[in-house]
Chain A
Amino acid sequence: MTDREPTARRGRLRVEGFESSTERSLEDDTAWPRSVERDREQSRTEGSVGRSRSRWRDIWRRFRSDRTALLGAAIVAILTVLAVFAWPLEVTTLGYRITLQPFALAPYDPGELYVGPTNAGPSLAHPFGTDWAGRDQFSRVLAGGRYSLSIGALAVALALCVGVPLGAIAGYVGGWVDEAIMRVVDILFAFPFLVLAIAIVAVLGQGYWNVVAALVITGWLSYARLIRGEILSVREAEYVTAAKALGASDRRIVARHVVPNAVAPVIVQATLNVGTVVLAAAALGFLGLGLSPDSAEWGTMLADGRSSLLQGHWHITVFPGLALFAFVLAINLVGDGLNDALEPRLEDGESRTAHRGSRTHDVERRDR
């Protein structure tokens, strides 16, 4: 620099090195520290550069890599298989008896009285012992899964069918529709979950479908609220505007951008809720408001076993309780794994644990 006179003129000093010629050599900078090798490997095996993978395959790949979630899924699968094949499933219509499922894993008919001594402890003949009426506990726990699991799955599925469309409509349409739906949700939310369920069963009366109805009426609220919030935030997201700028049709925007981004938390919430609903059904059963007292439902069995427990017969409550515990725990593990799998941002291992803590906590708090 030769000219050091003070001046008000700009541009005497220039910073060099950002010109296009130098940029080429800097290009290698765009480093790919991690897993680029994996991508290369994959491209090679797939035979094409950058072949697109489907979203669901990616999600499955991420879920598979989570051992605890896999364990949870395995427990759920085993319990489901046991429940389905525990005792033959028969439907009677128009006088015909159609056997849907002929297998019987359970050694005894779960409803048959006095297959052994009453209140006997675990033995080879009756691994889980027998109850006060001499029914085989092992058979009852296996078959009882039918009620608990089907109530959980049905109630959550029906609640989703009610809550998701209503919440989505509230979020999309906005205005008065939104106000109307969300005020109803607010009012129902004002009642404690279990108290409302008890009140509904008390009005409708006992029975399988009435319990399901009570759980649906109390269960759809959280989905409606959740999906509405998600849709409100996704609708305003810049990538939706970006899709509009690309000329995408409304249908494409909803299918490709809004739904995939809004639905993930709902799936996670629904999975976790299966556990909650099973617990709630058991609680109703325990309070004597669920199924009829002699039915083999885990909650009802716990209620029956209460008096036996006082007499020192621990096995009557422990085994149905363990089954309930195992199922709810497994469902929570699966929900947790889904939470991570549905969120591509959590793909890299190190951020996973930290992020999971906060997300799960959120979901659980919404649960209450």
Chain B
Amino acid sequence: MTDPLLQASDLSAHYTTTDGFLERLLGIGDTVRAVDGVDLELSAGETLGLVGESGCGKTTLAQTLVGLREPTSGSVTYRDKPLAAWSRAALRTNVQYLFQDPLASLNPQQPVTDIVSEPLAIHDIVPADRRDDRVATLLERVGLDPLTANRYPHAFSGGQRQRIALARALAVEPELLVCDEPVSALDASEQARICNLLADLQDEFGLSYLVVSHDLSVVEHVADRIAVMYLGEIVDIGPSDALFEDAAHPYTEALLSAIPEPDPCWTGERIVLEGDVPSPIDPPAGCRFHTRCPVVIPPDEFDLEPAAFRSMLTLRKRLEVGEDDWLESLVPRDGRHGDTATGTTEAIRDRFDIPSPLADPEAEAILERALEAIVAGNVGGASEQLGAAFETPCETIEPELQAEGDHRVACHRFDDDRAGDRRSRPSE
């Protein structure tokens, strides 16, 4: 492999939520770990797709990679030289950034000519008297009528605005273009056209792309390699074919299953992730995905189905939240189970889809004791009992990215001593 064009090592970017007079005075505020220890590299001429749910830190990562945001720790190098060591002009003529919302990223007070010629003026790329011609060439290249260059951004459609933004980014003849959700603000047909335009421009100018998107189908269309991000970390990275053929990380699998399929005879299963993305202020310990992972690893001591263990883990996470009158909200008193203690434990099992009884008698005994403690009102005790008895590596040990076939995955199911677990993938 050739030297990477852009490389990030152990990159973190945190925000503080401190805001306003009182909070500043008292020094309160939380740290949002938007990007947390990311390693990433991008080779010349390739397109790297970065996908993830909204709020997982994609945009922060992309902006940190091009130096629009200072990293909290870690480093970014472009052509083996740290970003800070590059002069502003040299860096900005090599690395460009395409924003998500083209209307917001174009100054409403400037006509298109001024917008597109601004980089030419800043870096003095073309002498002033030839700038208008250069702008016309650029606009034509991205598929716009140069005669409309005197108009203001508001007069254009979404796709046309994104083309203007693209023309502006291309004006400096960059090597690397970081596209932050380049098509998510556009309708489907315009999405496809912009994707094709990006591909054409790559062939023509030998560009490298980093394409950030929440939409795997867009990334599939343009990317050579795909990195999957969850809560500030890269969990899965590999060539797009490999990723689509044989998704390794359970999160990637869930994302893939969410792509709509037009085939009416398609019988693929849709994996629905429970719950919301946890807060990046206080991310879960161990594997950050373990709170929602459908195939979280059961403890070795017991013989448990992954699904049953998932349900028990969900129950325990709910107990840890410790809301008031949570029992009432959990167990509707509809009289189906009666008001007895046994009835309530059954209702809890029903609610969380925990099989009754569990396959393993020893585990069943522990669970039953915990459920009785809940009914007795000792919620903290129950959660502690469950936590002590059923310990999963997903919750305690942070997984490292490790090679698995063509891609690298951060998941404990691919640990060497756990090769057996992989065979029990539910989607196969």
Contacts and interface: CB of A to CB of B under 8 A. Distances in A.
A345 B102 CA distance: 15
A246 B267 contact: no
B104 A8 contact: no
15 contacts: A5-B265, A7-B263, A30-B145, A39-B151, A49-B147, A49-B149, A50-B148, A52-B117, A52-B149, A55-B109, A238-B101, A246-B118, A246-B122, A247-B93, A260-B110
Contacts of B263: 7, 10, 12-13
B279 interface: no
- List the 4 closest A-B pairs by CB distance, nearest first: A247-B92, A50-B149, A18-B192, A238-B104
A39 B148 contact: yes
A241 interface: yes
Contact size class for B? Answer: 35 or more
Given A42-B150, A52-B113, A242 B106 contact: yes
A40 interface: yes
Contacts of A261: 107-109
Contacts of A247: 88-89, 91-93, 119, 122-123, 172
A261 B110 CA distance: 10
Interface of B: 21, 24, 63, 66, 68, 88-89, 91-93, 96-97, 99, 101, 104-111, 113-114, 117-119, 122-123, 132-133, 135-136, 139, 143-152, 154-155, 160, 165, 168, 172, 189, 192-193, 196, 199-200, 244, 259, 261-263, 265-269
A42 B154 CA distance: 20
A367 interface: no
A248 B118 CA distance: 9
B154 A246 contact: no
Contacts of B113: 50-52
A273 B117 CA distance: 37
A244 B88 CA distance: 10
A287 interface: no
Contacts of B101: 238
Contacts of B152: 344-345, 347
A368 interface: no
Contact of A19 (B118, B196, B244): B196
Contacts of B108: 239, 261, 344-345
Given A27-B143, A39-B150, A247-B91, A51 B104 contact: no
Given A238-B105, A242-B99, A347-B155, A248 B144 contact: no
Contact of A15 (B68, B89, B123, B262): B262
B196 A20 contact: yes
Nearest to B262: A13
A264 B107 CA distance: 14
Nearest to A53: B150
Contacts of B66: 245
A137 B172 CA distance: 68
A9 B108 CA distance: 47
Contact of A7 (B104, B154, B266): B266
Q: Which one of B88, B99, B106, B265 has the greatest number of beta carbons of chain A within 10 Å?
A: B265
Given A42-B150, A242-B106, A260-B109, A8 B117 contact: no
B145 A49 contact: no
Nearest to B93: A247
B150 A243 contact: no
A8 B268 contact: yes
Q: Which one of B63, B111, B263 has the greatest number of beta carbons of chain A within 10 Å?
A: B263
A63 to B, nearest CB: 15
A89 B93 CA distance: 60
A40 B263 CA distance: 47
Interface string A223-266: 00000000000000111011111111100100011001100100
B265 A6 contact: yes
A239 B104 contact: yes
Contacts of B91: 247
B193 A52 contact: no
A247 B193 CA distance: 28
Q: Which one of A242, A244, A249 has the greatest number of beta carbons of chain B within 10 Å?
A: A242
